Amino acid sequence: MKIKPGVRFTLRSPDDEGSLDFTTSVILFNSYTASNKKLIRSALNPSIRKNKLIPNEINAYNLCIHEYTHYLDLTTTAWGMEFLYRRSVALSKIIAQGKSALSVAMLNAAEIKMHNDFNRVHRQVRLGDLVTKHGLTYSERHGTVIIVHLYINDTLVAETSISMLSILEANAVAHEYEGEYKWVACTKGGVDNIQHGRIDAKFTQLLEDSSRLEYNIIHILVAIHFPTQSLRHRLKVVATLCRIALNMSSMDLAIFANIISDRILNQYLGDALCNDLCRGMSRQVVAFYLVLMLYEYIEEIGLTTELVAQNIDESLPQLVDAMLSHRGFESPPSQAISDLEFDTYLKLLRQKRGKFILPGTLRAAAFNRKLLGTECFTSRAFRRLKLPDIILDDHSKIRAPSRIRANVVSHWENMYDECSELDYLAQDPDVMKKFHMPPGANGPMQLRREIHLRRLMNMEFDEP
Ligand SMILES: [Zn+2]
């Protein structure tokens, strides 16, 4: 069917001017139409010849980098491929089976939607001079969740969850701001102090905005734990840790669960949280603990601010690996097993390609994943990444510099009936639930405690 311009689905990134639709993988810029095409095309080609910073162009470029980062998270990580596979299976059965086709796909979708349920702003103030504390809570709908409480002068001003959306948005924001540095450098030949100050001030506004907790909570935690690092260094920390979390193999997620289990004081909810991780769910938990554990490790080994900055510039993944091995990982998280999981889903998707994956996406996904293994930021690889066209509000299109040659509008129209059914069901609270391990349910964490206890008892009995 022909889709009316203006249609947007529920399961999308909540960005103001555009969004990535997780139901279709389509990028929609609803604040731009054909009349803005020239502006966006020019924005995508920053060059020293212009030598002028045009705010509308910077905005358009930032939006492209932000939404394409969401797209790349979805198509180049272990988490994303699993999401796409489960979504494709669900969409292929949805018309015939309705709700029952969605149970597995909802595991992943509900993780994206959970953020709204836990956001509370108690005082409308700017989030400066913050102290954060975290705890666990349990909800029948979402399972065990980490909640961060934000205090100013001992007063609770806001609280929010560490959700999958908060990881996806933190990552997209990190790439967007790094993209702005890149855009300025391409246009002015470098980033001078005035531009550093301008971008810093703009970022501080985002950090202090209590209405944008899904975007800023991870950045707030990184700013609190790494206050002496420059914004650019902190952006790299966020982008690297989020990607590690999104890309970890399920085996390493289970090892990670074992490592963090001992540091969670609330054993009842902690076990439930870690049992979920052992099932390959709740990757957001990994990003959260990586921030805390990296901070603690740096304090413990006594790295100076300068050495931390140098490590961030040159070898951040190796620093994270060293930290993990210090904490009990026997070997660093395995890229090879993550690749194997990614390739397995890729193969499964190829076999059942159907109409729910834009032609060319899977080949581009494998290519982009390889490219992002060496280039950390979307903006740095932007001209080489193979990306789909962007749809504007009137359904005109913007071409990516190195594009997937397929018609995104007709692809969307082709799968519209199934996707709109999924969107309708996604608003049903009975459907939008995450199947999870409830507290008290026996799982790998309880088994681990039993083994520890048995060993301890044996040791005592063996003593003369
Ligand atoms: Zn976003």
Which pLDDT score, from 0 to 100, does residue 130 have? 94
Cα of 139 to ligand 1 centre, how many Å? 25
Cα of 441 to ligand 1 centre, how many Å? 35
Cα of 30 to ligand 1 centre, how many Å? 14
> Which regions of the chain are under pLDDT 50?
none
Cα of 223 to ligand 1 centre, how many Å? 20
- pLDDT tens per residue across span 72-100: 999 999 999 999 998 898 888 888 887 77
Cα of 462 to ligand 1 centre, how many Å? 58
- pLDDT tens per residue across span 17-55: 999 999 899 999 999 999 999 999 999 998 888 778 899
Query: Do the beta carbons of residue 37 and residue 396 sit within 8 Å?
Result: yes
Question: What pTM does this model have?
Answer: 0.93
3-class SS letters over the chain = CCCCCCCCCCCECCCCCCEEECCCCCEEECCCCHHHHHHHHHHCCCCCCCCCCCHHHHHHHHHHHHHHHHHHHHHHCHHHHHHHHHHHHHHHHHHHHHHHHHHHHHHHHHHHHCHHHHCEECCCCCCCCCEEEEEEEEECCCEEEEEEEEEECCEEEEEEECCHHHHHHHHHHHHHHHHHHHHHHHHHCCCCHHHHHHHHHHHHHHHCCHHHHHHHHHHHHHHHHCCCCCHHHHHHHHHHHHHHHHHCCHHHHHHHHHHHHCCCCCHHHHHHHHHHHHCCCCCHHHHHHHHHHHHHHHHHHCCCHHHHHHHHHHHHHHHHHHHHHHCCCCCCCCHHHHHHHHHHHHHHHHHCCCCCCCCCHHHHHHHHHHHHHHCCCCHHHCCCCEECCEEECCCCEECCCEECCCCHHHHHHHCHHHHHHHHHHHCCCCCCCCCCCCCCCCCHHHHHHHHHHHHHHHHHHHCC
Residue with tokens 């060319």: 360
Cα of 375 to ligand 1 centre, how many Å? 21
Cα of 5 to ligand 1 centre, how many Å? 21
C-alpha span between 445 and 249 (Å, rounded)? 18
Which pLDDT score, from 0 to 100, does residue 423 have? 83
Which pLDDT score, from 0 to 100, does residue 106 have? 67
- C-beta neighbour count of 354 within 10 angstroms: 13
Cα of 397 to ligand 1 centre, how many Å? 20
Cα of 296 to ligand 1 centre, how many Å? 29
Which pLDDT score, from 0 to 100, does residue 438 have? 74
Cα of 14 to ligand 1 centre, how many Å? 6
Cα angle 18, 19, 24 (rounded to 5 degrees) comes to 135
| Parallel, antiparallel or unpaired: strands 397-398 and 155-161 | unpaired
C-alpha span between 325 and 261 (Å, rounded)? 16
Cα of 63 to ligand 1 centre, how many Å? 9
Cα of 69 to ligand 1 centre, how many Å? 8
Which pLDDT score, from 0 to 100, does residue 2 have? 73
Cα of 172 to ligand 1 centre, how many Å? 6
Cα of 167 to ligand 1 centre, how many Å? 10
Cα of 439 to ligand 1 centre, how many Å? 32
| Parallel, antiparallel or unpaired: strands 27-29 and 19-20 | antiparallel
C-alpha span between 91 and 375 (Å, rounded)? 33
Which pLDDT score, from 0 to 100, does residue 251 have? 92
Cα angle 137, 140, 141 (rounded to 5 degrees) comes to 100
Cα of 70 to ligand 1 centre, how many Å? 7
| CA nearest to 287, candidates 327, 334, 320 | 320
Cα of 460 to ligand 1 centre, how many Å? 55
Cα of 11 to ligand 1 centre, how many Å? 12
Cα of 57 to ligand 1 centre, how many Å? 18
Cα of 208 to ligand 1 centre, how many Å? 18
Which pLDDT score, from 0 to 100, does residue 217 have? 96
Cα of 152 to ligand 1 centre, how many Å? 27
Write down the domain spans for the chain: 19-445
Cα of 246 to ligand 1 centre, how many Å? 15
Cα of 443 to ligand 1 centre, how many Å? 34
Cα of 258 to ligand 1 centre, how many Å? 31
Cα of 68 to ligand 1 centre, how many Å? 9
CA distances from 301 to 32, 47, 298, 322 (A): 50, 43, 5, 11
Cα of 39 to ligand 1 centre, how many Å? 21
Cα of 165 to ligand 1 centre, how many Å? 8
Cα of 173 to ligand 1 centre, how many Å? 7
Which pLDDT score, from 0 to 100, does residue 9 have? 79
Cα of 26 to ligand 1 centre, how many Å? 13
The burial of 44, by beta-carbon neighbours within 10 Å (0-12 exposed, 13-18 middle, 19 or more buried), is given as: buried
| CA nearest to 13, candidates 178, 206, 163 | 163
Which pLDDT score, from 0 to 100, does residue 318 have? 94
Q: Output b/e per residue, 119-150; b: 16+ Cβ within 10 A.
A: bbeeeeeebeebeeeeebebeeebbbbbebbb
Cα of 65 to ligand 1 centre, how many Å? 10
